[in-house]
Structure 1
Amino acid sequence: MLTRKWTRVILTVVVVVVLVKVCTKMRAKREERDFSELDLHLSALVRGRSGAKKRIPPDSNHTREDNIKGSLSNGKHLNGSNLIQDSWRSRKFVNPDDPKVIDPEGEATMWMDITNHSAPQIEEMRALAYKSWTANKDGVLKFRQQLEEYKASVMNTILTQNNPKPGQQVRYSLNRDALANITSEIFDFLPEESPFSKVRFPKCSVVGGSGILVNSKCGEGIDGADFIFRCNLPDLKGFEMDVGRKSNLTTINTVSIIAKRYNFMQTMSDSKKFIRKLQGFQGYLWMPLFGLKSGLSYSMRVARLLHKSGDIPNRKLIISNPEHFVAVQDFWRTKFLSTRISTGLYVVTLALSLCDETNLYGFWPFSRDLNLRPLKYHYYDDLDGPLSVHSFTEEFNTMLKMHKDGLLRMHLDQCT
């Protein structure tokens, strides 16, 4: 007969085996439920052209823009009438790369896969692209007042010799726990006062880098503005018909440009290549010297080159105020933008502070245009899509609403 001790051991083993089986079944059911939920949410994820997952807003029935009054998906058409849900069903689309008719439901499915926008929303975008646009001057003034409430006034855009002084410290805009010293060398880089403190421009162009600019014929319209902003030192030569020739302020993102395209400016060859690129630009060269702490060393190489080189006349270095970037970031978070804002949205904000009329070109985050033609990520290179540090789709939806409200004008198709 079994002793009492062995009886307890056997019972313990039996209980453990039963518990393991129960836990295994529960875990299997939980995993099955998780996979089902994942299938339901796959439409909320798209893969960037690099293969990295890129976050996009959920479907219009459950979008965060429901929290924004008057959003694009408010169920109303541009004239205030009910949106005709079946208007897109009467269309027949011919894909120019594969010339066969795509049925409307197939087109709608493709659009959902690409943009997570429903077919009626796309139809509304098409209407916006061709509908006459009127500037909302009062709305722009109100927008500027809101920026000032968040200390994001244009007066604080760049660092000057009035603020800060040599020996003082500033916080990095992206590493808020780190401080940088304003050395006498850095102080010499700074202008005595901001060039934007006393100016306003009647009409401005802000030019992004989207592939939607290819064959757009927008160059003449872009160059016709009083002040032209360009983002991240794009190529102009060979693309003048589509993107224009002129520039008044061009951003230089030290991480994505200096590090990736110019090898951290480590050699004389890198510097010469960089100078050759700058010869195609005029006006101000805007640089976030105090963006990332890890980028300060090679950003300083660029600043020294711009400050001293005689090969790039008529180009003036301006260093962004990290506190201004943080203030603009905080402002946009109140508008339900959850991720770090892009340089593009920051420049758009600056343009709205300085310009009576702001026109946007090349701001299109999707891999196909309004007619489902495939697009490159950049108009000037074959770079793959972006990483998920920014939410370009959220930013696009925000700017599209601003277009609808008359605060800015987005050019979403050819300019002819």
Structure 2
Amino acid sequence: MLINFISVCVSTGSLFLTKRNTAVNQAIHYETSATKTYKMNAAIHSMLPEVFFSLCFRFNLASINDSDVGLKTDLITINPSQIRFKNLEQNPDPLVERVSVYGNASLAIPAFAYTFCTGQSIKTLKVLHPIRPQQPVAFFSPIYLRTLDRFWKGRGLKSIRLSTGFMLINTALELCEDVHVYGFWPFDTDLQDIPVPYHYYDQMKPHRYMHKMPEEFVRLLQLHSQGALTLHLQPCSSDTR
């Protein structure tokens, strides 16, 4: 299964839109629509990264610290719904402060998942590019994500959309020889029957219909049993952060 997956997706050069794989005036097809497109203009193209490669992935602007979850971050994803800063272009400081805690980690946004994601994502790119050029903003390639979605739907995973964590774990399997997964737990209680939140850093509840994380978890267990990745389900020791 892993060999088939790699031959289908090959994300190394296509996971994100870059200057190398995207042209000015190219029609960008949305991940979730067969008809809607976005025409890449020269201004946005000039702000795309040249190439992209990362090691430690974190998701949805997750909080970091030096006590349990650790600080190392090479890439952090942002859900466009999290960009709720008022007058962002006139007052970018709250956003800049929010992302600067990750150092120079790249920021990844699904700008072309749905049409309503595009405007806020591009605004974020325009705001951050001149202020924090050392912290690239990258847009997920909708072609790659659509290919990944079709791959798993063809293997029985029928969610509306794959979770961000599951997407990036798949990517890590392509890019890395040794993949360790922490914090992917789709249940209300842990192995000791202690309640655990959906996100460790907020009280958000999972969407009832969007993702099928228990089914994703089963796939990860299968990959773990095959030796393709290591799924960590116990509290982390200090040397794993």
- Fold match, TM over 0.5? yes
**Which amino acid counterpart does residue 76 of structure 2 have in structure 1?**
T
Q: Residues 210-251 of structure 1, C-alpha deviation per residue, up to 9 Å, x if partnerless?
A: xxxxxxxxxxxxxxxxx3110111111xx4321101100111
Matched, 1:158 2:12: no
Distance 1:327 1:175 in 2: 13
Matched, 1:188 2:9: no
| Partner residue in 2 for 1:302 | 124
**Which amino acid counterpart does residue 157 of structure 2 have in structure 1?**
L
| Partner residue in 2 for 1:272 | 93
Q: Displacement of 1:399 after TM fit?
A: 0.6
Matched, 1:291 2:113: yes
| Partner residue in 2 for 1:317 | 137
Residues 269/158 of structure 1: CA separation in 2 closer, same or farther (3 Å cut): same
**TM-score, normalization by structure 2:** 0.89
Distance 2:141 2:203 in 1: 32
Task: Please say if residues 150 and 330 of structure 1, whose CA atoms lie closer than 8 Å, have aligned partners that are also in contact.
Answer: no
Matched, 1:344 2:165: yes
Distance 2:69 2:133 in 1: 23
Q: Of 240, 243, 265, which residue of structure 1 is paired with 2:66?
A: 240
Distance 1:270 1:392 in 2: 37
Task: Please say if residues 59 and 76 of structure 2, whose CA atoms lie closer than 8 Å, have aligned partners that are also in contact.
Answer: yes
Q: Displacement of 1:188 after TM fit?
A: 0.7
Task: Please say if residues 365 and 392 of structure 1, whose CA atoms lie closer than 8 Å, have aligned partners that are also in contact.
Answer: yes
SS in 2 for 1:243: coil
Q: How many residues are aligned here?
A: 235
Show structure 1 runs of 5+ residues with no match.
1-141, 202-226
SS in 2 for 1:397: helix
The structure with the largest helix share of the pair is: 1
Identity across the alignment (%)? 29
Residues 350/151 of structure 1: CA separation in 2 closer, same or farther (3 Å cut): closer
Distance 2:108 2:121 in 1: 12
| Partner residue in 2 for 1:328 | 148
Residues 313/191 of structure 1: CA separation in 2 closer, same or farther (3 Å cut): closer
Q: Displacement of 1:341 after TM fit?
A: 0.7
Residues 320/380 of structure 1: CA separation in 2 closer, same or farther (3 Å cut): same
Distance 2:226 2:137 in 1: 34
**Which amino acid counterpart does residue 228 of structure 1 have in structure 2?**
C
Distance 2:48 2:201 in 1: 32
SS in 1 for 2:19: coil
**Which amino acid counterpart does residue 213 of structure 2 have in structure 1?**
F
| Partner residue in 2 for 1:86 | none
SS in 2 for 1:318: strand
Distance 2:6 2:206 in 1: 34
**TM-score, normalization by structure 1:** 0.53
SS in 2 for 1:233: coil
Distance 1:174 1:391 in 2: 17
Task: Please say if residues 182 and 232 of structure 2, whose CA atoms lie closer than 8 Å, have aligned partners that are also in contact.
Answer: yes
Task: Please say if residues 14 and 21 of structure 2, whose CA atoms lie closer than 8 Å, have aligned partners that are also in contact.
Answer: no
Matched, 1:387 2:208: yes
Distance 2:91 2:162 in 1: 29
CA RMSD of aligned residues (A): 2.0
Residues 151/401 of structure 1: CA separation in 2 closer, same or farther (3 Å cut): closer
Show structure 2 runs of 5+ residues with no match.
none
Q: Displacement of 1:270 after TM fit?
A: 6.7
Distance 1:175 1:390 in 2: 18
Q: Displacement of 1:333 after TM fit?
A: 1.5
Structure 2 counterparts to residues 35-46 of structure 1, below 5 A: none
